[in-house]
Chains A and B, each alone.
Chain A
Amino acid sequence: MPRAILLAAMMTALATVSCGFIGSDMFPRELQYAAGSYDLAEDLGVEPAEVGELRVERLTNSDGVSRVAVYVGGSAANSLYILDDDLSLLRSYSQDSFSRFLGIDQSGDFACGTVFVPYDTSVDPTVGVNLGCDEGSFDVVGTSSVLYSSDGASGTVLNARNKISSTAYAVDSLVSSGYYFNTLDSSLIGETDRLFALLRDRSSGSSMLAIGFPDIYVDHATMLTTVLNGAQIDTMTGVSYTWIYVDNTDSGWITADGVVALVHGNGSRLIRFDLTSGEELDSIRIDSEWMQGISFEDGGAYWYFYDRQSGRLNKLRTWWR
């Protein structure tokens, strides 16, 4: 019997050491981080996997009111769901003018596509000016600009569009000619007045992807706002970048605690990188096959995704907080 016990102990130790998944089981890891959910598919009246294009953003208006906005594109009218931080539904809308663009308009209200949505959900939304709600447009909260990228003759140009005038300005042609990018996210982080944009290299068409931060240094917030309003575009100086080379990624988000990239290959992982150094900080393994509309709050406390199996929109704590 002692030999049998020794054998059993060795096998157990081997399993423990080799697998390294103490604490893991057959359930979705996300359950450990669950902070709320909303049955979106049921509300839409469709099967969970039939939900079409979807984007989730937690927006904070000029009065500091935060809402979780969910845009759902479909074959019929597009939908917008406004939920509170507990993922309780406040109001849903349906309009053709909704699009993937989610941000704050010039008056501080929520915007989806060309539609302004007052945070007072008793007030109906109105169609406003075109904010340049392209697929790759991102609101830079706290400024009057929307950031987006466009392809030029010799490379990708990062642009800013004024929310009021709808005027577009080229911010920077970035890096060097011959490189093409998609803007993945943009945020104004902290009081250091840094603007970050996540860029994806489309030139190689392969698994080698790059995420960079063009740090646009300005003297203070007012100057940044001015820059983004396009007034002093020619006087902007000092664009620098921090590059992170990550294989097999197509998504990234900027938070106050770092940049998060979704990396595929040998399972999917969410990897967090340091904002300044670009060093990898930590990561978790996820089952991204059924995840849609992943989004991280700018503050870094929570993230969201829609589960195409359960039909629920989930809110999760980030693993580092």
Chain B
Amino acid sequence: MHSRNHVALGLSACLLAAVTPALADEGSVGAEALDSSRAIVVSVVEGEEASGMTARFAETLVSALVRETEAAGFQTAREPLEGAQASVAGSEAAEPDLSRAVASSSGARWVIVARSRVEGSRILWRASFYDGASGGLMGADAFSAYAGLSALSLIEGSAKKTVQSAMLTISEAESTTPIDYRIELKSSDDGAAVSIGDVLMGEIADGSLEAPYFPFVVGGTVAIESRKEGYWPRRQVMNIAADGKPIVLKPLFRKTKIAFGGNYGTGRMLGLAGSFRWYPLSDLIYLRAEDSLWAAYDFSAGARPVLHDELRIGAGAYPLFDPAAKFRASVGLCASVIGTFLTSADARPRFGLDVCVEPLFLTLEWHGPTWAIVFESRFPYSVGASTGFLPREWLSVNNSGPIFFSVGILFKR
């Protein structure tokens, strides 16, 4: 019959590890001084003085532990016990101190003790994974079997379980470690009040804010909310890192009251437009005015430029209201008047005034905190005013359809 004793201890257990006076003079070092990427495997053979069979089983256990530890990402070496280390190695209770001593002398943080002995026809072994900085047991596995070939696979399995349980303990220990620094917040919004949870941390000044100390857990998340007069509040969930690097807050979006800018588009490619928006409801509904000045010109010998000026007024709204969204879409309607001047001196008449309506225009907008890139498509209809040159019809560009597109920039205030 086989028997098993699997041990996996948590962080609290390792903090309780005792210090044996016999090893006190060996000294111990903190975790910072040890190399967390390195592991040392030491072998302890008990009972009848290392018979050939016992040595072979012990070697199998050590080899399996080295292999599994390296597979877990540690740089692993085996090390013989010497001096005081060897004198206490016979006791399992002294293993925490043994691990600290080995870690101190080798510089490796992790120490795996492979303990084995033969009793009659049975081989017994125990593999223990220690944190050499504290002597804390991170994982262990004990087992016994008939001392035959069948024990070899069991030994390898035991080594695997030992390393797996240690890795689990290590990751849990890291996830519950409180930070030892004050969180620093970086933001471009000077004057913004920052809260973590419901606790006000202070205001951003000169682009940063050092929050009061809170024992946040490494790897945890915190909800940070920024508020500033004239801007939409913004809540962000951020991860707490162990490295103490500042947390960079995303910029706040202005509550848009007005916006102005310019655009360029098809149907008036020899010209530009200036636009203005007023938002009775910030970032939700806007009234707009736009003036476009352009020339129509074929660049042929017989052509003379025709100058146009269009004044559009209208209203638009964002159906999907999200004031912090970078990508937004709006729809609306407009009306416009277009003044036309024919530069050809012999043209009659030389002036015209057309009236158009736009039952629908669409915008796709990419927003920054204080600016937006706006792509617009519109569908103007001429009412066929007798004072103008346009007939009553849906307008098209160059007889190619309503391809009235424009791209422009808006500056929000």
Please report A residues at the B interface, Cβ cutoff 8 Å: 1, 4-5, 7-8, 11-12, 15-16, 19, 21-29, 31-37, 86-87, 267, 282, 284-285, 287, 290, 309-310, 316-321
Contacts and interface: CB of A to CB of B under 8 A. Distances in A.
Which of B268, B389, B403, B409 has most A Cβ within 10 Å?
Answer: B389
Contacts of A25: 267-268, 294, 296, 308, 397-398
Contacts of A22: 269-270
B407 A24 contact: no
A33 B398 contact: no
Given A29-B298, A318-B302, A320-B301, A8 B373 contact: yes
Q: Which of B371, B405, B407 lies at the interface centre, i.e. has the most chain A CB atoms within 10 A of its CB?
A: B407
Contacts of B3: none
Contacts of B366: 4, 7
Nearest to A20: B398
Contact of B342 (A29, A34, A87): A34
Interface string B264-275: 111111100000
Interface of B: 264-270, 294-306, 308, 340, 342, 344, 346-349, 366, 368, 371, 373, 375, 380, 382, 384, 389-391, 395-400, 403-405, 407, 409
B296 A31 contact: yes
Nearest to A12: B407
A35 B308 contact: no
B269 A21 contact: yes
A21 B380 contact: no
B397 A24 contact: yes
Contact of A24 (B267, B349, B382, B391): B267
A26 B391 contact: no
A11 B297 CA distance: 22
A285 B398 contact: yes
A31 B340 contact: yes
Nearest to B304: A32
Contacts of A35: 344, 346-347
Given A35-B344, A86-B346, A23 B297 contact: yes
Given A21-B397, A27-B308, A36 B347 contact: yes
A187 B342 CA distance: 33
Contacts of B390: 26-27
B346 A36 contact: yes
B391 A309 contact: yes
A37 B308 CA distance: 20
Contacts of B308: 25, 27
Which of B267, B294, B368 has the most chain A CB atoms inside 10 A of its CB? B267
A319 B298 contact: yes
Nearest to B296: A25
B399 A32 contact: no
Contacts of B294: 25
Given A31-B340, A32-B298, A34-B344, A23 B270 contact: yes
A267 B371 CA distance: 41
A33 B300 CA distance: 10
Contacts of A27: 296, 306, 308, 340, 389-390
B373 A284 contact: no
For B270, B295, B400, the residue with the greatest tally of chain A CB atoms inside 10 Å of its CB is B400
B373 A4 contact: yes
Nearest to A308: B391
A33 B304 contact: yes
26 contacts: A8-B409, A11-B405, A21-B400, A22-B270, A24-B397, A25-B267, A27-B296, A27-B306, A27-B308, A27-B390, A32-B303, A32-B306, A33-B302, A34-B348, A35-B344, A37-B347, A37-B349, A87-B348, A285-B399, A290-B391, A309-B384, A317-B304, A319-B298, A319-B300, A320-B300, A320-B301
Contacts of A15: 265-266, 405
Contacts of A26: 267, 380, 382, 390, 395-397, 404
A16 B269 contact: yes
Contacts of A31: 296, 306, 340, 342, 347, 389
7 closest cross-chain pairs (CB), A and B: A34-B347, A317-B302, A24-B398, A26-B395, A32-B303, A309-B391, A319-B300
B371 A321 contact: no
Contacts of B391: 290, 309-310
A44 to B, nearest CB: 17
A284 B298 contact: yes
Nearest to B386: A310
A90 B155 CA distance: 119
Nearest to A88: B348
Contacts of B382: 26
Contacts of A87: 348
A8 B407 contact: yes
Given A12-B264, A27-B340, A27-B390, A19 B400 contact: yes
A27 B398 CA distance: 8
Q: Which of A5, A26, A33 neighbours the largest number of chain B CB atoms within 10 Å of its CB?
A: A26
A23 B307 CA distance: 11
Contacts of A19: 266, 397-398, 400, 403
A317 B340 CA distance: 19
Given A21-B266, A22-B269, A87-B348, A28 B389 contact: yes
Contacts of B409: 8
A23 B296 contact: yes
A321 B302 contact: yes
Contact of A321 (B267, B301, B405): B301
